[in-house]
Amino acid sequence: MSYVIKLECSRCHRAYEPSENPVMCESGDMGRLDIYYDYERMKEILTRKTLGERRETDVWRWRELLPVDEDFAVRLGEGGTPLLRAERLGEKYDISNLYLKDETRNPTASFKDRSMAISVAKAREIGVRMAVTASSGNAAAALAAYAARAGMTVLAFVLHTASDAKVAQLKLYGAKVVKVKGVERGKDPTVEMMLEAVRRYGLYPSPSFGPFNPYQVEGPKTISYELAMDLDWVEYGWLLAPTGSGCLAAGLWKGLRDLVELDLVSWYPRLVPVQPEGNSPLARAIMDGLDFTEIEPEGSPRTIATGLSDPYPWDGDAAMEGVRRTGGRAAIVGDDEIVDAMKDLARYEGVFAEPSGSAAVAAAKKLREDGVIDRGDRVVALVTGSGLKDLAFTSRILGSTLEVGMEIKKLGEIVDQLLGNS
Ligand SMILES: Cc1ncc(COP(=O)(O)O)c(C=O)c1O
Ligand SMILES: [Zn+2]
């Protein structure tokens, strides 16, 4: 049974019936078709008790809050990721209650599985055979995996900066991959190519940007639900998210709002979208108090966090609303701070993240140093993508590896040195 009441364009406010299964606003205004639910009818079913008793741990645990019937679900074990209490890292950063939501543990090793599980389920419902996407790599990899399982074909336009590992992953899942040259004058050519494929050939658009597919936005909101449940529905202070297009932050905000609408909680954590210095149009706009319509795309993004290099924050409007309504703020971190966070995550907590996936942790450290976050605050940082996504990068930031023969004498030196260091 669907609880969706309507879809409504975030720009021109044109409303659509759920049965129309719209994907983009017909007026071509690049608005996002926000999905509205009947919370009153859901309230009887969705209580802390009934939700706690459900046996599923994947995103379908929240089926009433999803825009597709569960019968169309394509499952790979998306969602239900661990929330790790980071004691050692918390001590290093002087944050006594630091938590990591480990999204690297999703089936294709990034949080995008949540989005694409929903998008592909919707595609199955509509009867789509071929999807097209524009991506820095992770969303495309997620789409390719779910599409493979659903027997759908995928055409993926990825930025030429996408790591070899991400491209290889995509190809192994059977997607047709096309690398596209970088962003020019603020225009993302992967998006332009994708839109042409939609206009000319009627392919189903499935990037992780709301204006081109409203269904996938509903995936990341399940992170907010899981966090509330895993923290025993008790209020926490901060929710930090690596941000590129703003779709993740928009989804988190939607999830936080849903929880309040359903009377499951009566609080919001402060939402913090985190962007890298080399591509921070959304974060800068928030810091400067600008309106969404005043955002200028980044001319040519430059950052090691390639997953956060969208020159234009397509879902920035909803992300900005989330920041405003939760009393949050934006954060900008340098590439060097991201590398440090990546090393800290691995060395202090055993979590292997890619640069894009480490940005929120870098921001937690920075906001604590700046006195914005207090020592006792409960802080959740999302770790959104696995380090296995770009091993070449990790190798580059590490020193050379010692190589020996059968040199027992050396062994003593090595152990002594290690003991001396420990
Ligand atoms: C690992 C990782 N983290 C965060 C993001 C940012 O998500 P969004 O574009 O929804 O802001 C991405 C996007 O590609 C990503 O790959
Ligand atoms: Zn519209």
Distance CA 146, CA 417 (A): 48
For residue 163, the model assigns a pLDDT of 86
pLDDT tens sequence across 327-375: 999 999 999 999 999 999 999 999 999 999 999 999 999 999 999 999 9
Measured between its terminal Cα atoms, the distance across the chain in Å is 58
223, part of any domain:
yes
- For ligand 1, atom 12, name the residue with the nearest CA: 307
pLDDT tens sequence across 204-259: 999 999 999 999 999 999 999 999 999 999 999 999 999 999 999 999 999 999 99
Atom of ligand 1 nearest to the CA of 246: 11
Tell me the residue type at 231: L
Ordered DSSP codes for 145-186: HHHHHHT-EEEEEEETTS-HHHHHHHHHTT-EEEEE---BTT
Ordered DSSP codes for 270-308: EEEEEEETTS-HHHHHHHTT--GGGPPPPSS---S-GGG
CATH number of the domain to which 249 belongs: 3.40.50.1100
| Beta bridge partner(s), residue 204 | 131
User: 243 C-alpha to center of ligand 1: Å?
Assistant: 6
Q: Is the pLDDT of residue 186 over 90?
A: no
67, part of any domain:
no
Number of domains in the chain: 1
User: 110 C-alpha to center of ligand 1: Å?
Assistant: 9
- The whole-number average pLDDT for the span 93-100 is 98
156, part of any domain:
no
Mean pLDDT of the chain: 96
65, part of any domain:
no
241, part of any domain:
yes
Q: Near ion ligand 2, which residues have CB within 5 Å?
A: 9, 11-12, 25, 27, 29, 31
- For ligand 1, atom 1, name the residue with the nearest CA: 385
Phi, psi at 7, each rounded to 5°: -115, 140
pLDDT tens sequence across 196-217: 999 999 999 999 999 999 999 9
239, part of any domain:
yes
Task: Give yes or no for a contact between 145 and 108, defined as CB atoms under 8 angstroms apart.
Answer: yes
pLDDT tens sequence across 282-333: 999 999 999 999 999 999 899 999 999 999 999 999 999 999 999 999 999 9
For residue 361, the model assigns a pLDDT of 99
For residue 136, the model assigns a pLDDT of 85
Atom of ligand 1 nearest to the CA of 243: 11
For residue 409, the model assigns a pLDDT of 85
- The whole-number average pLDDT for the span 125-133 is 97
User: 246 C-alpha to center of ligand 1: Å?
Assistant: 8
User: 305 C-alpha to center of ligand 1: Å?
Assistant: 9
Looking at the CA of 244, name the nearest ligand.
1
Distance CA 217, CA 188 (A): 20
Q: Is the pLDDT of residue 422 over 80?
A: no
For residue 78, the model assigns a pLDDT of 98
234, part of any domain:
yes
134, part of any domain:
no
Looking at the CA of 109, name the nearest ligand.
1
User: 177 C-alpha to center of ligand 2: Å?
Assistant: 30
Q: Is the pLDDT of residue 417 over 80?
A: yes
The residue with tokens 């929330």 is 83
Looking at the CA of 134, name the nearest ligand.
1
CA-to-CA separations, 62 to 79, 115, 191, 247, in angstroms, rounded: 11, 14, 31, 19
Atom of ligand 1 nearest to the CA of 385: 1
Q: Is the pLDDT of residue 181 over 90?
A: no
* Residue range(s) defining the domain that contains residue 284: 83-109+217-396
